Amino acid sequence: MLGILVSGRGSNLEAVLGAGIGVALVISNRPAVRALEVASEHGVPWMVMRRAGSGGAVARDTAIGEALTDAGVELAVLAGYDQMLGPAYFEAFRGRTLNIHPSLLPAHGGPGMMGLAVHRAVLAAGDAESGATIHEVTAELDGGPILAQSRVPVLAGDDVDTLAARVLIEEHRLLVATLQRLLASGGERAPAGDPC
């Protein structure tokens, strides 16, 4: 069973559900985000678990891990989830956790590298290409083993918005393809690189 953690618009969640991949539970750290509407439209149970009101990050992370376990989730995906998960999460949830990141890790990962900040960093560095990476979540931010990557050229005249839009298309494709492969293989690790 698959669980997805979200913080915003839920476009990766929408891509996964649109591909017919079953999701047992969606958890958001923010109320009233579009991702929760997406979950509702597809009849997927969802919960909001914020640090505030839950006793702090440790209590929240424990609650997230327990909720995933209780829902029968074996594979969790951080799909635009903008919070770090601490040791309490990994103690409470013994399944596998993956993240999708909008760059070719290890480039442009780590603290502060979320959303448009990643694409700004790619453009500022003058990189010829960017892309998306799916990796295992570990205690090291954006440092877990890479499962799959997909490359996107940086075009002349690109700005943050145009690059972000092209990378997002590849995020959707790569996430769906990787999840389909992992679920079909019983969760075995996909080789690094593009799984398609």
Residues annotated as catalytic (active site), given as ranges = 101
Hey, what amino acid is at 93? Answer: F
Helix, strand, or coil (residue 168): helix
**Residues 61-75, buried b or exposed e (16+ Cβ, 10 A)?**
bbbbbebbbebebbb
145, 169 contact by CB (below 8 A): no
Hey, what amino acid is at 106? Answer: P
Q: What is the greatest pairwise CA distance in the chain?
A: 49
* Residue 118 CB contacts under 8 Å (≥ 6 apart), including other chains: 101, 102, 103, 108
| Beta bridge partners of residue 77, listed in sequence order | 4, 98
What distances in angstroms separate CA 180 from CA 38, 48, 173, one per listed residue? 20, 27, 11
Tokens of 121: 């960093």
